[in-house]
Amino acid sequence: MLDLTYETPKPKVIAGAKHDWELVIGLEVHAQVATNAKLFSGASTQFGAEPNSNVAFVDAGMPGMLPVINEECVAQAVRTGLGLKADINLYSAFDRKNYFYPDLPQGYQISQLYHPIVGEGEVHVDMEPGIARTVRIERIHLEQDAGKSIHDMDPAMSFVDLNRTGVALMEIVSRPDIRGPEEAAAYVSKLRQIMRYLGTCDGNMQNGNLRADVNVSICLPGAYEKYMGTQDFSHLGTRCEIKNMNSLRFIQQAIEVEAKRQIAIVEAGGEVEQETRLYDPDKGETRSMRSKEEAHDYRYFPCPDLLPLEIEQDWVDDLASKLPELPDEKRLRFISDFGLSEYDAAVLTADTTNAAYFEQVAEGRDGKLAANWVINELFGRLKKDDDKSITQSPVTPEQLGGIIDLITSDAISGKIAKDLFEIVYTEGGDPAEIVEARGMKQVTDTGAIEAAVDEIIAANPDQVAKAKENPKLAGWFVGQVMKATGGKANPKAVNQLVAKKLNG
Ligand code: ADP
Ligand code: MG
């Protein structure tokens, strides 16, 4: 397999009033596990169900109810860990994180503080073709999601919807290896892409099934390299954590304004306080939610209701052997097998449906030509057509392949192929039959082309004289011949004949 070497992107630098500052960012991403049932109950995880209809007794914290681990949630966390090239811990355990909140009827969240199911891994975050950042993963643990308090339905009362209570989350904790707002967004989208390939999280940020806590600090140029050399956090600045971000755009904005806030504090001689903040997109500012002193004491302790989670290496190996091809591998394969540019390969592997469509078109054909047709013609046309997705494409891979075959066999010109594509897109049908029935075949018969060239030359003696002086004017004759033949003449043959006749 082709292996590419990547350049590390430069960190984002923000100019302060006194000197330049760099950013250091670490993310805690909460990804809802794609399963039918919750982490410790059989209740459904279906989004948008009638409030409080997907609630088992254990989710509602009824006395005497015991949690029972859902094996599929464990399998999904293991698959995610494998997809992030991470260590899988055969021994992990659940802990209680105690706090009171109306949307948490148990009075504690079951999580994995001391022994997470997944250990260290890494993600390759592509910034531009040939430029990528490796972000280390510290851990992934499984935990329960909370319910939802609703404060805006009644002036005097709050409501609670427990449908989400107890749904499995994977918390994916990165090392502070992210160096700018764009990288943070690219990191989240890469995680989302990998999990979608794996089928372990839908990654729908609007529905809240992928959200991130964003930790931001600032440092002077050179400090991060010292940290990387020693793993000593004292080289880094004090971080603030911006909670619960569920939009890539807001993540970037929040990092930007938070970094500027910290720079202003430090340059004025103050110190950044470690605290939890919220981003207000309307005001474009972050606000303190709670300081370190106000931080909860969660009184973590091992959950007495659950045995430690022990899994077998054979089971992990079996899951690993059934893992689908992942985005990086698919991209590299597209580059080496189909001769695509890094950019085209990235576009075509953005999701598995695009990739599968392309592979059907490219199989046994010129890969670059196929990529060109899928990206420029088909994606462009779908975008114009109400931003349709590839699954809604009226043109099947077989039809698009048929059009490409007609081009490569010289049956039609590239220009006619575009007309043909439009016909297939709007009316359907077999491309070869359409070309036959509508007389769209390219004229490769040099005799016929020659006659057309002779006719144009004879009718335009002035142009001929000019073209003899200035060979660039030959293009005008080519254009006339193409027009006279309704675009069906083989452009290569026309060019050759025009050149020959003008010079001869
Ligand atoms: P906690 O559980 O208290 O939030 P963690 O040690 O788990 O603390 O760290 C949370 C996140 O903060 C991690 O993603 C980590 O990479 C990030 N982080 C740690 N130090 C810094 C720093 N100086 N600047 C930015 N992010 C940091
Ligand atoms: Mg945290």
DSSP result, 367-429? HHHHHHIIIIIIIHHHHHTTT--GGG-SS-HHHHHHHHHHHHTTSS-HHHHHHHHHHHHHH--
- What is the CA(307)–ligand 1 centre distance, in A? 29
Distance 241 CA to ligand 2 centre (A): 7
Interval between CA 108 and ligand 2 midpoint (Å)? 17
What percentage of the chain reaches a pLDDT higher than 70? 99
198's torsion region: left (phi>0), alpha (psi -120 to 50) or beta?
Answer: alpha
318 CB burial (10 A radius; 0-12, 13-18, 19+): exposed
Ligand nearest to the CA of 298: 1
* pLDDT range class, residue 447, cuts 50, 70, 90: confident
Indicate if the pLDDT at residue 362 is higher than 90: yes
What number is the average pLDDT over the span 453-473? 89
For residue 445, pLDDT beyond 80: no
In angstroms, what is the span from residue 140 Cα to ligand 1's centroid? Answer: 14
Taking the centre of ligand 1 as the mean of its atom positions, its distance from the CA of residue 301, in whole angstroms, is 21
- Distance, in Å, from the CA atom of 477 to the CA atom of 383, rounded to the nearest integer, reads 36
**pLDDT at residue 417 above 70?**
yes
84 vs 110: CA distance, rounded Å? 24
Q: How many A from CA of 502 to the centre of ligand 2? A: 76
**Nearest ligand to residue 27 Cα:** 1
Nearest residue (by CA) to ligand 1, atom 7, is 173
Structure confidence at residue 92 as a pLDDT band (50, 70, 90) = very high
> What's the CA-to-centroid distance between 326 and ligand 2, angstroms?
28
Confidence of residue 1 (pLDDT cuts 50, 70, 90): very low
In a mutational test of the pocket of ligand 1, which residue from 28, 177, 211 has the highest number of ligand atoms less than 8 Å from its CB?
Answer: 28
State pLDDT tens for residues 403-413. 999 999 989 98
470 pLDDT higher than 50: yes
Burial of 74 (0-12, 13-18, 19+ CB in 10 A): buried
Q: Is the pLDDT of residue 451 over 80?
A: yes
* Chain mean pLDDT for the chain: 95
Q: Which of 155-164, 225-234, 415-424, 454-463 has the lowest mean pLDDT?
A: 454-463
| pLDDT of 503 | 80
In 3D, which of 2, 5, 22 has the Cα closest to residue 266? 22
Q: What is the pLDDT of residue 414?
A: 86
Alpha helices in 84-140 (DSSP H): none
Least confident interval from 128-142, 321-335, 451-465, 483-497: 483-497
Give the pLDDT confidence of 111-120 residue by residue, as tens digits.
999 999 999 9
Interacting residues of 88 by C-beta distance below 8 A, sequence separation 6+: 78, 81, 82, 117, 118, 119, 311, 316
Query: Which has the higher per-residue pLDDT, 281 or 129?
Result: 281
**Whose CA is closest to atom 11 on ligand 1?**
26
Q: Pocket around ligand 1: residues whose beta carbon is below 6 Å from it?
A: 24-28, 173-176, 215-217, 233, 236-237, 239, 241
Choosing from 173, 177, 183 the residue with most ligand 1 atoms within 8 A of its CB, the one to mutate for a pocket test is: 173
What's the CA gap between 339 and 366, in Å, rounded? 9
Cα 45 to ligand 2 centroid, rounded to whole Å: 25
The pairing of beta strand 20-32 with beta strand 309-310: unpaired
Intra-chain end-to-end CA distance of the chain, in Å: 52
Across the range 411-421, mean pLDDT stands at: 92
Query: Which range among 15-19, 326-330, 350-354 shows the weakest confidence by mean pLDDT?
Result: 15-19
Q: pLDDT tens across 119-158, in order?
A: 999 999 999 988 999 999 999 999 999 999 999 999 999 9
Averaged pLDDT for residues 31-55:
97
- Identify the H or E element spanning 364: none
CA distance linking residue 101 with residue 167, whole number of Å = 17
The bound ligand whose nearest atom lies closest to the alpha carbon of 24 is 1
Lowest mean pLDDT among 2-16, 18-32, 258-272, 382-396: 2-16
Closest ligand 1 atom to residue 236 Cα is 23
pLDDT higher than 80, residue 327: yes
More confident residue, 332 or 294: 332
| Cα–Cα distance measured from residue 64 to residue 66, given in angstroms and rounded to the nearest whole number | 6
* 3-class SS of residue 307: coil
Distance 28 CA to ligand 1 centre (A): 8
Q: Which atom of ligand 1 is nearest to the CA of 216?
A: 25
Atom of ligand 1 nearest to the CA of 177: 16
* Closest ligand 1 atom to 237 CA: 23
Examine the pLDDT at 78 and tell me if it is beyond 70. Answer: yes
The number of the ligand nearest the C-alpha atom of 141 reads 1
The CA 381 to ligand 1 mean position distance, Å, reads 44
Q: For 169-178, 393-402, 415-424, 482-491, which range has the lowest pLDDT when averaged over its residues? A: 482-491
Ligand nearest to the CA of 138: 1
Q: Which mutation among 139, 171, 187, 215 tests ligand 1's pocket best, with the greatest number of atoms within 8 A of CB?
A: 215
In angstroms, what is the span from residue 175 Cα to ligand 1's centroid?
Answer: 7
Q: Tell me which ligand sits closest to the C-alpha of residue 176.
A: 1
Q: Which atom of ligand 1 is nearest to the CA of 238?
A: 23
CA 237 to chain centre: 30
The neighbour count for residue 101, using CB atoms within 10 Å, is 12
Ligand (nearest to CA of 274)? 1
Which protein residue has the closest C-alpha to ligand 1 atom 13? 26
Cα–Cα distance, 310 to 210 (Å, whole number)? 27
Q: Distance between CA atoms of 162 and 446, rounded to whole angstroms?
A: 76
The alpha carbon of 276 and the centre of ligand 2 are apart by a number of angstroms equal to: 9
User: What's the mean pLDDT in 15-20?
Assistant: 93
> Which candidate, 278, 40, 64, 332, places its Cα nearest to that of 165?
40
Q: What is the mean pLDDT of residues 340-359?
A: 97
With bands split at pLDDT 50, 70 and 90, how would you rate the model's confidence at 3? Answer: low
- Residue 2 pLDDT > 60, yes or no? no
- Locate 287 and state its tokens: 């606000």
